[in-house]
Amino acid sequence: MTGVSALNEQAARRLAALPASSRSYVDPLAAIAASRAREADRVHRLVLGRPRPMPPVDTAGLNKQERKAERNRVSRRHAEQLKSDRQYTGKEATPETLRYVATKTEGGLARLYTTGDINADQLAAAEQIAAAHQRVVGDVTIAIASLEARVDRSPQGDGSFYEALGAVQTEVAYTRWREALEHPAVVLDMIVGGLGFTVAARRNRMAHRRAKRLLIVALDLWPRTLAAARNEVDPATLAAAHAGIL
């Protein structure tokens, strides 16, 4: 897989060189290709934990000195990206998620974040849990729970396999996370239902402080459970499951 930034830069240069009459046809195709490259890059680094590969250097039309300067520029940029990747452990929220949760104002969880009772990583974990809950609940009506049935086995090169792998890992993590909770109902009332901890505590007949403590414990448990699921359900495990039914 090539670097996403390099692909975008090359696509932009080639698009600019085309006649104006041809751009309306090529531009949507370039956007689709760039979108697929971004998703494949996300899965490659964040789901599989693999290092970012060195992107290709487009030196077409450059002299020797310009080619050397371009290679050095790409190399420096790649080194900075690798450093940033190493600093991201998977436990904290991504920069995009942090920006999102910082601007979200509604809901009991957002109020806890505003008052400093939970941090941005815990709020981001709540967002991931809510998304996983909706996915699992939506799949309840499907009477198939095996790993091999959840991934399209047709050969594709657009990252669909790894996107589905990430979904399976999240579902496994959610199931185990919920089983580990002392009182899942009150926790889900706050995370999925959007209730404040005082309302959730009253509904479940428990003290306010206890409901709040259960919430924080659950949010802190999620990253560890998700990391364990990603280690257990890897591409080799999924491939073995597929081989058993082929």
Segment 40-97, tens digit of pLDDT: 666 666 656 677 777 788 888 888 888 888 888 888 888 887 777 666 555 555 555 5
Identify the band that residue 237 occupies on the pLDDT scale cut at 50, 70 and 90.
Answer: low
Q: What is the pLDDT of residues 109-145, one digit of tens each?
A: 888 888 888 888 898 899 899 988 888 886 543 333 3
Q: Quick one: pLDDT at residue 163?
A: 62
| 229 pLDDT more than 50 | yes
Q: Which of 28-32, 69-73, 164-168, 209-213 has the lowest mean pLDDT?
A: 28-32
| 18 pLDDT more than 60 | no
Q: Quick one: pLDDT at residue 206?
A: 92
User: What whole-number percentage of the chain has pLDDT above 70?
Assistant: 54
Q: Which of 4-8, 94-98, 113-117, 224-228 has the lowest mean pLDDT?
A: 4-8
pTM of the model: 0.49
Q: Which of 113-117, 204-208, 241-245 has the highest mean pLDDT?
A: 204-208
User: 207 or 232: which carries more pLDDT confidence?
Assistant: 207
Please spell the DSSP secondary structure of the chain, one letter per residue.
Answer: ---HHHHHHHHHHHHHHS-HHHHHHHHHHHHHHHHHHHHHHHIIIIIS-PPPPPPP---TT--HHHHHHHHHHHHHHHHHHHHHHHH--SSSPPHHHHHHHHH---SHHHHHHHHTSS-HHHHHHHHHHHHHHHHHHHTTTS----SGGGS--S--SSSHHHHHHHHHHHHHHHHHHHHH-SSHHHHHHHHTS---HHHHHHHTT--HHHHHHHHHHHHHHHHHHHHHHHHHS-HHHHHHHHHTT-
| 158 pLDDT more than 60 | no
pLDDT (average), residues 217-222:
95
The mean pLDDT value of the chain amounts to 72
User: What whole-number percentage of the chain has pLDDT above 90?
Assistant: 17
Identify the band that residue 195 occupies on the pLDDT scale cut at 50, 70 and 90.
Answer: confident
pLDDT (average), residues 182-194:
91
Identify the band that residue 165 occupies on the pLDDT scale cut at 50, 70 and 90.
Answer: confident
